[in-house]
Amino acid sequence: MLKIEEKVVLAPYTTLKIGATAEFFAVIKSREDVLEAVHWAKSRKLPIFILGGGSNLLISGSVKGLVLKNEVKGSEILEDKKEYALATAYSGESWTKFVKFTTDHGLYGLENLFLIYGTVGAAPVQNIGAYGVELKDAFYHLKAIDLKTGHEKIFSLTDCQFGYRDSIFKKKLKGRYFIYSVTVKLSRKPDFKLDYGSIRTELEKKGIINPRLNDVVRVIQEIRNAKLPNPVSLPNAGSFFKNAEISRVHFNRLIKKYPAMPSFPIGRTKVKIPTGWLIEQAGFKGKAVGPVRMYEKQALIMVNHGQAEAKHALALVKKIKAAVKKRFAIDLEEEVNII
């Protein structure tokens, strides 16, 4: 029997530790729990909101309807071939634990995504990415439950409409499905992506020229720990903004004024600019509004020093967007989901 509570404070369930109350709240640990919750909410004509690890989320007010805390966990190898394997995890599983599961099985493809906080279910919503790799590069399919009907549907790579930190689940199907499991197709042979960020440099510092899988995972863990705060010790929601994508024409104008501006080409017509650099240049690295500030080691990360409210976070976001717009004529877009 699903236990449904009323007026539950949500801040403890988010890594930023900001949040008001849920009108109704339940923890789900199985497919049966999901179906029971769908039936309960439907009979009362209430919306459903899924809460995973709460790592990419800013709850700006009370949440109407039924909030489901996803605790459906576990990982398994579905199919194991000589050249590849299919690995599946349930959506409430920790993403980092799933990546560790795949690397422990000698599978290549997710190692660059190690130590991204959050759950497996959130990964396809965001099309999470790091160090030149995105989930879509290894994605096979996912299973989801329709929150209106309770019916299950399988989504292929094409169905998900993945984009940069984007998917159909953030747009057309936002709030429609509960992602139940995610399956990835991973290689049995090494195909490392080492030239994004400082991965290769750090490996070379250790004298590692021909890295093994555990070497890459260890170095990525060290890099991330060195510049990104652990939300357990310093509450944060990860990268608050997406990296900026601008036209090459716009970039050509900016580079004349800011020759040191880092950039990455996207095809022939666009260029990606690290938003952390833009925020730092606009003077907001380490800058605070009340108890929230942009982290001094990485300006893309908003941290909460305690007792912060949504109004503090939103005020800082507004100031940053205005400053970057004024200086660079770039409109920043939040990566964090604000509800």
Active-site amino acid positions: 165, 239, 335
What is the 8-class DSSP label of residue 30?
S
Which two structure tokens, joined as six digits, stand for 325? 């717009």
As a whole number of angstroms, the distance between CA 64 and CA 32 comes to 23
Which two structure tokens, joined as six digits, stand for 21? 């109350």
What is the 8-class DSSP label of residue 297?
S
Distances (CA, A) of 281 to 88, 100, 244, 327: 42, 36, 14, 9
Indicate the burial class of 56 (C-beta count within 10 angstroms; 0-12, 13-18, 19 or more).
buried
Rounded to the nearest 5 degrees, what angle is found at the Cα of 159, between the Cα atoms of 157 and 163?
Answer: 70
Q: Which residues are within 8 A (CB) of 43 and not within 5 positions of it... i.e. 6 or more apart? A: none
Sign of CA dihedral 109, 115, 120, 121: negative
Classify strands 84-90 and 177-187 as parallel, antiparallel or unpaired: antiparallel
In the three-class reduction of DSSP (H, G, I as helix; E, B as strand; rest coil), residue 59 is classed as: coil
Distances (CA, A) of 201 to 113, 140, 190, 206: 18, 31, 19, 9
